């Protein structure tokens, strides 16, 4: 009887551990790490949700003048906090102009994974490896 109970508890533990792992995805599953996009636009919305935070940038097309809303996925909120960001306007201000650099979506939609941000005051923050603004 003890063996069955121990086995059942062990299996429950493994299932409980596996579910969060299955829910997370690899960066390369959604984004092309070989295709970098750099866009400047007006910040319209910030969502601090797990497992990643999202920022939405309205970008004006130089040729047509049409505005497209780009979704920028970032590292998670906890990692953003460790990097010095906060939820309030001290970090990101709605209506301000930012330049975002990141990996383009594999499916061709208007979204990207953020690797760096150029703030309106000239600060450059790298969230991923390297400095894309040094090019």
pLDDT by residue (tens digit) across 24-49?
A: 557 778 899 999 999 999 999 998 88
Q: What is the pLDDT of residue 118?
A: 94
Burial grade of 36 (CB within 10 A; 0-12, 13-18, 19 or more): middle
Q: State the average pLDDT over residues 49-73.
A: 92
Asked whether the predicted pLDDT for residue 129 surpasses 50, the reply is yes
Q: What is the DSSP letter of 99?
A: E
Q: What is the pLDDT of residue 131?
A: 63
CATH code for position 56: 2.40.50.140
The boundaries of the domain holding residue 55 are 26-134
Asked whether the predicted pLDDT for residue 6 surpasses 80, the reply is no
Position 38 in a domain: yes
- CA nearest neighbour of 79 among 25, 29, 128, 12: 128
Position 18 in a domain: no
Average pLDDT, the chain: 80
Give the whole-angstrom CA distance, residue 96 versus residue 29.
31
The separation between the first and the last C-alpha atoms of the chain, rounded to the nearest angstrom, is 66
Q: How many domains does the chain have?
A: 1
pTM, two decimal places: 0.74
């Amino acid at each position: 009887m003890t063996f069955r109970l121990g086995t059942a508890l062990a299996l429950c533990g493994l299932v409980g551990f596996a579910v969060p792992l299955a829910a997370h995805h690899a960066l390369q599953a959604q984004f092309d790490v070989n295709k970098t996009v750099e866009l400047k636009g007006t910040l319209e919305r910030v969502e601090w949700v797990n497992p990643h935070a999202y920022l939405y940038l309205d970008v004006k097309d130089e040729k047509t003048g049409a505005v497209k809303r780009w979704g920028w996925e970032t590292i998670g909120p906890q990692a953003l906090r460790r990097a010095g960001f906060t939820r309030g306007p001290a970090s990101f201000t709605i209506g301000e102009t930012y330049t975002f650099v990141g990996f383009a979506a594999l499916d061709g939609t208007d979204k990207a994974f953020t690797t760096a941000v150029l703030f309106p005051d000239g600060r450059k923050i790298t969230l991923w490896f390297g400095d894309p603004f040094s090019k």
